[in-house]
Amino acid sequence: MTIAVSAVVLLGVFVYLLWRYARLPLWQAAICAAFGYYLSSSSIGPEVGNGLRALARFIAGLVL
């Protein structure tokens, strides 16, 4: 749950920055949000979540 909330916040900030500085039209940002919503409720949604969790574990395991 913590990873999902962090990913939502991170992606939300990313879309906001694109809207603010890269002149992303608001309607395109809304389409991105709708696509994410429908993707999460589809049959591939759990696989996307598993991939994000695996990526988070990989990043957490990096030693710099």
Spatial neighbors of 15 by CB under 8 A, at least 6 apart, are: 24, 29, 32, 33
Containing structural domain, residue 6: 2-63
Mean pLDDT rounded to a whole number for the chain: 83
Q: Which of 2, 43, 39, 34 is nearest to 15 (CA)?
A: 34
pTM for the model: 0.56
pLDDT band for position 19 (cuts 50, 70, 90): confident
Does residue 57 carry a pLDDT above 80? yes
Domain count, the chain: 1
pLDDT band for position 5 (cuts 50, 70, 90): low
